[in-house]
Amino acid sequence: MNEYGFLSSLGDYMSEFLDFKRKMGHPYERGISYLKDFDRFCLLNFRNATCLDEKVCLAWARRRPTENNSGFISRITPLRQLGKFLNSIGIQAYVLPDSFHGHVPRYLPHIFTEEELRSFFTAVDSLAPYYQSVARHLVAPVLFRLMYCCGLRPSEARLLENADIDLWTGRTLIRQSKGHKDRIIIIPPDLLETCRTYRLRVQCLFPDSKFFFPNHNGNTYSAPQLRYLFELCWSKAGIEVYDLPKPRVYDFRHTYCTYRLYRWMDEGRDITAWLPYLSAFLGHEDYGSTAYYIHLVPGALQRMSGFDLNKLECLIPEVSF
């Protein structure tokens, strides 16, 4: 057995691939879970497989009955990357085509209204202590406010450690986020005061936990746990049920971006000049990802007459040879 616990005949290949990823600075934690699932699949269905061939890959790449397109892509992507890696080191392997999963429509986020936000946070603040998760009623109000007020991705918020946040200056380190890049954000003063009070209270319950938002046993909240907590609070808020798009935890980030742009436009600021700052704060790799939110701003097209996304090209000057 290798250090990752792979048991199938292809386990050594996967182990070597993960070692490469780690040496390149990629934690690849989510990918490991998919490869372990694939390892069990091979152990059950292709016990004697000696190579990553087309038959094995196509059997794994069959969409499951309860699997949506996003989940399907997430599951087959590590296998595609494994195939590319093996070919790069001289081991023949089949690589699933990039277009195998088809076109994925862009998700239309739910932008919370001010009334929805008030109702939601009223419900969050009224959470009663729960014996199976003694800090949940303390965690939820600060965790969700941090995502909304700072535009954090859910994973960025739930994985924060005590050492990442300077509770006096608000300087916060976001580690190994999307693209495996670190960045610094500053927590607003009023929220920072809330964080200080919260930290003193939760520290009494979990003095040895390194996580800023500990779950029932002092570890970090998992993605399903965070999703359940959000849905619980949403339900308690009694907000009208929507058909599409269904509100998600990630929509706090979308709402932050949309409202920030809306306020800047309302203040008459030059969006062309301010968009790069927002892009850096959010951890986007390109301005186009941030400019996407312009289309979500209510009445944006009427308010933004004269704004041209092509103006962003001037931020990267043309090089003459």
Lowest-confidence segment of 31-45, 83-97, 138-152, 261-275 by average pLDDT = 261-275
In the predicted model, what is the mean pLDDT of residues 229-241?
90
Q: Is the pLDDT of residue 92 over 90?
A: yes
Q: Is the pLDDT of residue 303 over 50?
A: no
Question: CA 111, CA 117: separation in Å to the nearest integer?
Answer: 10
268: alpha, beta or left? (left if phi > 0; alpha if psi -120 to 50):
left
Query: pLDDT digit string (tens) for 15-28?
Result: 999 999 888 777 77
Question: CA 177, CA 155: separation in Å to the nearest integer?
Answer: 8
Question: CA 4, CA 32: separation in Å to the nearest integer?
Answer: 8
Query: pLDDT digit string (tens) for 186-231?
Result: 999 999 999 999 999 999 999 999 999 999 999 999 989 999 999 9
Lowest-confidence segment of 108-122, 195-209, 264-278 by average pLDDT = 264-278
Mention every residue, 6+ apart, whose C-beta is less than 8 A from residue 248: 109, 110, 227, 230
Q: Is the pLDDT of residue 129 over 50?
A: yes
Q: Is the pLDDT of residue 131 over 80?
A: yes
Confidence at residue 282, expressed as pLDDT on a 0 to 100 scale: 81
Q: Is the pLDDT of residue 316 over 80?
A: no
| Bigger pLDDT: 281 vs 307 | 281
By the 8 A CB rule, do 142 and 194 touch?
yes
Segment holding 14, helix H or strand E? helix 11-23
Q: What is the DSSP string of 117-150?
A: HHHHHHHHHTPPPBTTBTTHHHHHHHHHHHHHHH
Secondary structure letter of residue 226 according to DSSP: H
Q: Is the pLDDT of residue 45 over 80?
A: yes
Q: Is the pLDDT of residue 121 over 50?
A: yes
